[in-house]
Structure 1
C-alpha cells in the first residue's frame, strides 16, 4: 500500500501545485524531481543520474535519435518564428484590414477560429500551435478573450483528431487496434465504429460551435480594453493585403497534407491512401511543412520591402516567445517517463480489473481512462496502455461490448487530456493563444465537464443496450441541459449578446 501511495505522490504534487501556484513549469519540475527521488530510493546522486538519463532519452535512445520529439521541437521553433514574422511585419494586421469587410462581428470571428481548426486537422499539437498563434492578433481585433480563443483552439484540435483516421492519430490508434487478435473487424473499420461512438469528442466539437455562435461562457472584452479596436474607416479595395498571411497559411496546410501523403506513399507500392497514412512520417512532414512555410514567409516579406535586419530580429523574437512552451513540453515528456517508470498507469489499470462491475463496464472504463489521462497529461499514453487492457477486459466480460469499451477508452483519454494542466495540448493551446495554462484549464473545465457528463450518460445507456437513437437523444439532451443550467446559475457565464454579435 505504501509503495502505491509513493508511486502516485509525484502526480498528486504536480496536479496540486499546477492548480494552486498557477505555475505549470514549477509544478512539473517538482513532480519530476520527486518522482526521480522515489525511483532512486531517495539517493541524490542516483536521482541526478536518472534525470540525466530520461532527459537524454527524449532525444536519443536505444542507439537511435528520437525523431518524433526532435521534429516536434523544430516545428514549434519554426512556427513560433513564422508567426512572429507575420505579426511583427504587419502581415496579420493587413489581413485583419482586408478581413474587416468580410468579418464584421465577434460571432463571425469566433466561427472563423473554429473553421480554421477544422482545416488544420492533421495533428493535435500542430493545430494548437498554428491556429492559436495565427488567430491571436485577430481575436484581439474582434474582442475575443484569450481564454476563449484557447478554448476554441483546444476543443477543435485533439477531439477532432481522435475522430479522423487520416489525422496523425489514426495510424497510431489503428496500430493498437490491430494488435487485438479478437477484434471482429479490420482496424480501420474498428476505428470508424469507435469514432462514431466517441460521445465526448463529438459533444466537445458541438459545444465549441455553440460557444462560437452565441459567445456563452466568456465575458466579452470591454471596447476600451481592446488593443486593436477596429475603426470605421471608409475602406478602399487597396487597403489590406491578405496574401502576406494567406499564402504562408495555405502553404502550411497544403504542405502538411501533401508531405504526409508523400512520405507514406514512398513506403507503399499500392494506391491505398489509408496505407499511405499508416506508413507516413507525420513528424518529418510537420517539420518540413513548417520549414517551407517559414521560407515562403521570409521571401514574401523581403519582396514587400522588410529589411533583412528586421527579419532576423523577428526570427529571434519568435524563438524567445516559444521558448517557454518548449520548456514546458520537455518537462511534460520527462514527467511522462517518470510516471511510466513508477508504474502508475498499470496500477490504475489493475484496479479496474478488480473493482469494475460488468453492468458499469463502459462508463467505468470512460472514468478510469479520464483519470489516467488527467493524471499523466497524455491521451496517447493512455491509449497505449488501456486499448489492449480495456479490450481484454471487455472480451472476457462481454464480447458484445468490445467496441463500446474501446470508444470509452478513446473518449475518456481525450477528456482527461483535454482538462489536464500538464497536457501538452492544454499548455500549447494556452501559450499560443496568449494566456496562462492555469487560466485556460480553469475556464475550459466547465465545458469539458459538460461533455464528460453527456458522454457518461451515453456510455451507460450503451452498457444497458439502449437503441442508438435514444442513446444520442440522451447525450444531446444531457449536454444541452447542463449547458443551460450553467448559463442560468453560474454568474461568470454570460452571453456575448451584450456586444454586437
Structure 2
C-alpha cells in the first residue's frame, strides 16, 4: 500500500513509542507499544475486510460501524503477530545488525574483564593525575572522539569506556559525557574517511542514476562528496558546539541542571535514572589484592585499534587500489567485531598470565558482561524494528509528499534538511534516511538548477538532517550506544542533548537560508558556505553564553563550574 493509505496514522507508532518512553522512563515498553501499534495500523484495512467477510459468511447483515469495531480488534491481534515477525526479521535478515549485536556483546565482555582486573580504576587514577578538571576531561573525550573517526560505534565504545570513570572522579554528569561522545562520534564519521563515506558516495551515485544526465557527464561521487562537506553544516557545527561547551564550561537547559546536580551532590546520574549499564553493581569490586596495572586497560584497547587498522587494510585491499580507496572500501564493522573479540582474548591472557582468574572465572565474568548489555541490545532490536514499521507505513514518504509541494532553489536545502531530520528521528537510522532521501534529493536539485554544486548542497543537507534526527531520537542506535558505554540513562541523555542539537540545527538552517538567498551576491560559491560556517561558530558561541547566563539566572545557580552554590534544583527546573 502507498504512504497515503495510512496518512497521519503513520505517525502514531513513533509518537506512542517516544511519548511512553519519556513518560515512563521505560524505553523498552514505549518501543514495543510503538511496534505493536504499527502492526495494528498496518492490518486495519485487512481487519475490517475480514470482519465484513465473517458477518456475510454466516448470513448476518454487514454494518459499517460494527465492521470497524470488530476490524480494529482483529487488527490488534493480527498486528501483534506482524510485530513479532518484524522484531525477528530486524535481526535475522540483516548481517549488519547481527554484527552489531556481536560487537556489543564482545565489548560488554571486555569491559567486564577489564573492570575485574582493575584496569578501569588504574586508568582512572593515572589519567586524573593529568586530567584534573572537567574542562580537561571534556577536551580529552572530544579530541579522542575526533581522532576515532573510522566508525561511530567503536568511537562511542572506546571513548565512553575510557572516560566514564575519569569523568565520575571529577563529578561530570553522565549526561554530559554521553553528549560529548554522541555528538562527536557520528558527525566525525560522516566527514572523514570511514565506512560512512563509502556508503554516502554510493548514495550519490544512485541519485545521479535517477537523473537524465549521460553517464559520461556524471561527476565523480568523491568530488561531489568533498563539495558537500561545507553544506553538511549540522555535523560540522555539532562538533564545534561540543568544543564550545567543553572549553567555556557553560551549559543551558536540562544539561545545566544535570551538571549542577553532579557538582553539588556528586551524583553523576539523576535520582530516577536507570543507567544502561552499571558495571560495579553487576560485577562487584575488582579482584581483591590484584595490583592495578595500566596495561590491563590500555593493551586491550590498543589490541582493538590494531586489529581494526590491519583489518581495514585487508578487507579494503584489491590490486591497484590506492590507500584512500582501500580505507574507503574497508569492511569496518566486520573488523571491529574481530577486534572486539581479540580485545576479550587479551583480557583473558592477562587474567591467566598473572593468575588473577581461572579460565572458568574468566568465562563467568565474560557472561556477566553479556548480561550487562541485554537492556541496550533489547532497545537496539526494538529501535531497528520501529524503523521497519515506519517504512512499512510510509511515514517518511507521507511527510515528504507535503513538504515538497513548494520548492525553490533557495528552500530546497532546508526542505531536504527538515525531511531528513524527521525521517531519522522516526526511523532511528541515519543510513536508511540517506538511502531513501539522497536518490530523491539529487534529481530534484538537478531539475531545479541543472547545477552540480546544488546537488552537493542537497547531499550535505541530507547528511545533516540524518545526523540531527539521529541525535534527537531515543530509538537511534548511536544514541543508545552512547548512553550504554557512558553508563547514562537513555532518556536523560536524549533530554539533555536535544537542547544542543536543536540549537545547532537552528543555526544550520539559518546559514543554509542565508547561503541560498544570498546567491545574487556570491552565486553558488562553496567558499561562501565555508565563511558562513565560521559565522555559525561565532554565533553558537554567543548563543551558549546568552542562554547559559539566562538559564542560570532563572534557576538561581551558576552558569559555570567555577562557583559552588547550595540551591537545590526543583523537579521542574529544566
The TM-score, its normalising length taken from structure 2, stands at 0.79
Asked if 2 retains the 8 angstrom alpha-carbon contact of 1:80 and 1:318, the reply is yes
Q: Counterparts of 1:432 and 1:12 in 2: how far apart (Å)?
A: 27
Taking the TM superposition and a 5 Å limit, the aligned residue runs for 1:298-317 are 298-308=348-358, 309-317=360-368
Taking the TM superposition and a 5 Å limit, the aligned residue runs for 1:162-173 are 162-164=190-192, 166-173=193-200
Q: Counterparts of 1:335 and 1:224 in 2: how far apart (Å)?
A: 38
| 2:321 match: secondary structure | coil
Of the two, which has the highest radius of gyration?
Answer: 2
The answer for the alignment partner of 1:258 in structure 2 is 310
Asked if 1 retains the 8 angstrom alpha-carbon contact of 2:118 and 2:292, the reply is no
Deviation at 1:281, TM superposition (A): 2.4
The answer for the alignment partner of 1:12 in structure 2 is 15
- Length, aligned pairs only: 481
The answer for the alignment partner of 1:106 in structure 2 is 134
Q: 2:79 aligns with which of 47, 65, 73?
A: 47
The answer for the alignment partner of 1:496 in structure 2 is 561
Pairwise CA RMSD: 2.2
Deviation at 1:473, TM superposition (A): 4.2
The answer for the alignment partner of 2:274 in structure 1 is none
Taking the TM superposition and a 5 Å limit, the aligned residue runs for 1:136-285 are 136-164=164-192, 166-179=193-206, 180-181=208-209, 182=213, 184-217=218-251, 218=256, 219=259, 221-222=262-263, 225=266, 241-265=293-317, 268-285=318-335
Q: 1:372 aligns with which of 414, 418, 423?
A: 423
The answer for the alignment partner of 1:334 in structure 2 is 385
Q: Counterparts of 1:207 and 1:45 in 2: how far apart (Å)?
A: 47
The answer for the alignment partner of 1:419 in structure 2 is 472
Residue 455, structure 1, aligned to residue 482, structure 2:
no
Asked if 2 retains the 8 angstrom alpha-carbon contact of 1:450 and 1:483, the reply is no
Q: Counterparts of 2:306 and 2:323 in 1: how far apart (Å)?
A: 16
List 4+ stretches of structure 1 deviating above 4 A.
none
Deviation at 1:224, TM superposition (A): 6.1
Asked if 1 retains the 8 angstrom alpha-carbon contact of 2:117 and 2:292, the reply is no
Gaps of 5+ in 2: 45-71, 269-290, 523-527, 565-574
Q: Counterparts of 1:477 and 1:139 in 2: how far apart (Å)?
A: 28
Q: 2:39 aligns with which of 33, 36, 40?
A: 36
Deviation at 1:295, TM superposition (A): 0.5
Residue 57, structure 1, aligned to residue 89, structure 2:
yes
Asked if 2 retains the 8 angstrom alpha-carbon contact of 1:10 and 1:31, the reply is yes
Q: Counterparts of 2:559 and 2:443 in 1: how far apart (Å)?
A: 45
Deviation at 1:226, TM superposition (A): 6.6
Gaps of 5+ in 1: 228-238
Deviations 1:47-84, CA, capped at 9 Å, x for gaps: 244234323323334xxxx3211111001000011011
More moved, 102-111 vs 325-334:
102-111
C-alpha change, 1:287 and 1:337, in structure 2 (3 Å) is same
The TM-score, its normalising length taken from structure 1, stands at 0.90
Deviations 1:380-438, CA, capped at 9 Å, x for gaps: 11111111111121111123322111111111111111111211111211122112111
